[in-house]
């Protein structure tokens, strides 16, 4: 029986992948670097470190550029951008409030915790989540299961009583490696990229609370 539902943030609760893209574009623009759209799509759900390593491997950024410096600049830009909030994915705020009546809820994201808190606060959703974890809380980002294992520990709920809502291959791998059921929302990526999930939906309209209760318990 599912007792807790853990949400990824970007692309699940908020249409915030665009904020990450804008933050990176501002940073890269300072160095006259142009990164094509396909790399941003391939970067969905992976950590900033892995994203930059991929760009270096593809020769999109100079080898001598310091990863930590670029990440620091990007996170500050993202923090600035997130002060204005982000668009909630259609129906998600209502779904969270309904789900909160049946389950304990949490957020587990590779994003900067400051940005996570900003977005949830602006949307009036903070109160619905018992645990909120960001990259500062872990040593290994998704696809490592660390963040979901830590979330389970903080909730004091075993992993097999937890379900995860994700939108990326890295997030799905993390959830499954943690021993949790995983629902994937195909909000940004085609469904075949999300094939390891237990259930794939096109958007939250396809996932009602009743559906969740009957299908995932």
Q: What is the pLDDT of residues 177-211, one digit of tens each?
A: 999 999 999 988 889 999 999 999 988 777 766 55
| 46 Cβ contact list (under 8 Å, min separation 6) | 54, 110, 141, 142, 143, 168, 170
What pTM was computed for the model?
A: 0.85
Contact 183, 197 (CB under 8 A): yes
Contact 188, 213 (CB under 8 A): no
Hey, what's the torsion of the CAs at 192, 48, 91, 169, to 10 degrees?
Answer: 20
Q: Does domain 17-82 have CATH number 1.10.150?
A: yes
> Would you kindly state where each structural domain of the chain is located, as residue ranges?
4-15+86-216, 17-82
Q: Does domain 4-15+86-216 have CATH number 3.40.50.1000?
A: yes
Per-residue pLDDT of the chain (217 residues; tens, 9 = 90+): 899 999 999 999 998 888 889 999 999 999 999 999 999 988 888 889 999 999 999 888 988 888 999 999 999 998 888 877 788 998 999 999 999 999 999 999 999 998 899 999 999 999 999 999 999 999 999 999 999 999 999 999 999 999 999 999 999 999 999 999 999 999 888 899 999 999 999 887 777 665 555 544 4
Do the strands 131-133 and 104-108 form a parallel or antiparallel pair, or are they unpaired?
parallel
């Amino acid at each position: 029986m599912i007792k807790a539902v853990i949400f990824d943030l970007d692309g699940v609760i908020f249409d915030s992948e665009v904020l990450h893209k804008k933050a990176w574009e501002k940073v890269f623009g300072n160095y006259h670097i142009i990164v094509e759209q396909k790399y941003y799509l391939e970067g969905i759900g992976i950590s900033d470190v892995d994203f930059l390593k991929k760009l270096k491997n593809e020769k999109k950024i100079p080898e001598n550029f310091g990863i930590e410096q670029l990440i620091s600049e990007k996170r500050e830009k993202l923090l600035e951008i997130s002060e204005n909030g982000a668009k909630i994915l259609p129906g998600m705020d209502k779904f969270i409030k309904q789900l909160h009546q049946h389950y304990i809820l949490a957020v587990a994201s590779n994003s900067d915790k400051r940005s996570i808190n900003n977005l949830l606060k602006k949307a009036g959703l903070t109160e619905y989540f018992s645990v909120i974890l960001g990259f500062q809380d872990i040593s290994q980002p998704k696809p490592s299961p660390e963040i979901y294992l830590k979330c389970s520990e903080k909730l004091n709920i075993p992993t097999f009583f937890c379900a995860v809502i994700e939108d990326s291959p890295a997030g799905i791998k993390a959830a499954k490696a943690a021993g949790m059921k995983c629902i994937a929302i195909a909000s940004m990526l085609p469904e075949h990229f999300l094939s390891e999930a237990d259930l794939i939906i096109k958007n939250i309209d396809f996932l009602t609370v009743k559906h969740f209760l009957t299908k995932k318990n």
